Amino acid sequence: MIIERVEAVEDLVCKLNSLPNNFIYRGHAKESWVLEPSLKRIFPADVSEDNLRKAESISLHQFKSKFHLYDTTNTMPSTKLEWLSLMQHYGAPTRLLDFTESPFVALYFAVEAYDPRQSEDFAVYGLDYRTILKSSIDVISSKDQDFSYTYEDAQLKQDEIYESVIDCSSHDVLWITEPTKVNLRLDRQAGCFLLSGNVTRSIEQVLERQTYTRVEGYKFVIPREFYENIFTLLRRMNITSKAIYGDLSGLAKGIRMMITAYS
């Protein structure tokens, strides 16, 4: 992965706009954060795969069994990927890591969680999803003779592939997906998920494998002093919490960010 330090806001905009359409993005409020899902972050680094899978299974069971008691707006999910997506949406720990097809939505999320009182810079990641998926399909095909899915299938049979292949194996591959039926917030954010087939390995660890040497990846480190200018830029582009969330929580987040940026 190429790490580039941004020298000016205009430089960042130019770099993000220059990347091709086959990229996905993620923003981090601290540039020291790694690409690691919430399920992995709550355990020690040496946690076993068995314990991670048990924790996810327990979380999924609890969420599904109590869903009807708390929800009045969502359609009942029908696949495991839909359930995990909804859990991720509400903050339950899962193996899914949020990405977006929009570099500026990713930049917004870095700014949203950023605390200007901290001394650390923030960052935006960009990864070539097309090469990641094609490389992953090659690896799985070499290990599983029954695997016959193509790159096109990965766009059309997301839930089926996740449940029958990715979830029940431990291949050292990365997978990019979203459920066939997405919730409104995921749609507003042009969202998708990146996950590691081997739940004990971080995204970076898998990316370092020989399999992914052809994958273009960037980490743009953004100096903390650009925070206010970037917040203003995103508002002018109408990339705001109100547009991204479309509900009262978005309005509240927007008010908090405005006070933080200009205080």
User: For residue range 49-67, what is the model confidence (pLDDT) as tens digits?
Assistant: 899 999 999 999 999 998 8
- Is the pLDDT confidence value at 153 over 70? yes
Mean pLDDT of 124-142: 95
Mean pLDDT of 72-82: 83
Please give the Cα distance from 123 to 178 (Å, whole number). Answer: 24
The identity of residue 77, as a single letter, is: P
pLDDT attached to residue 248 = 64
DSSP code at position 29: S
Interior/surface letters 127-141, b for 16+ CB within 10 angstroms, e for the rest: bbbbbbbebbbebbe
Beta bridge partners of 100: 25, 191
- Is the pLDDT confidence value at 20 over 60? yes
Highest mean pLDDT among 133-137, 167-171, 180-184: 133-137
The identity of residue 52, as a single letter, is: L
Half-sphere exposure of residue 2: CA atoms within 13 angstroms, side-chain side? 11
Rounded mean pLDDT of the chain?
A: 87
Mean pLDDT of 179-206: 78
Phi-psi region of 190 (alpha: psi -120 to 50; beta: other; left: phi over 0): left
In sequence order, the 6+-apart residues with CB closer than 8 A to the CB of 234 are 104, 107, 108, 111, 240
Please give the Cα distance from 208 to 202 (Å, whole number). Answer: 10
- Is the pLDDT confidence value at 256 over 80? no
Task: Tell me the backbone φ, ψ of residue 219, rounded to 5 degrees.
Answer: -125, 110
pLDDT attached to residue 67 = 87
The identity of residue 158, as a single letter, is: Q
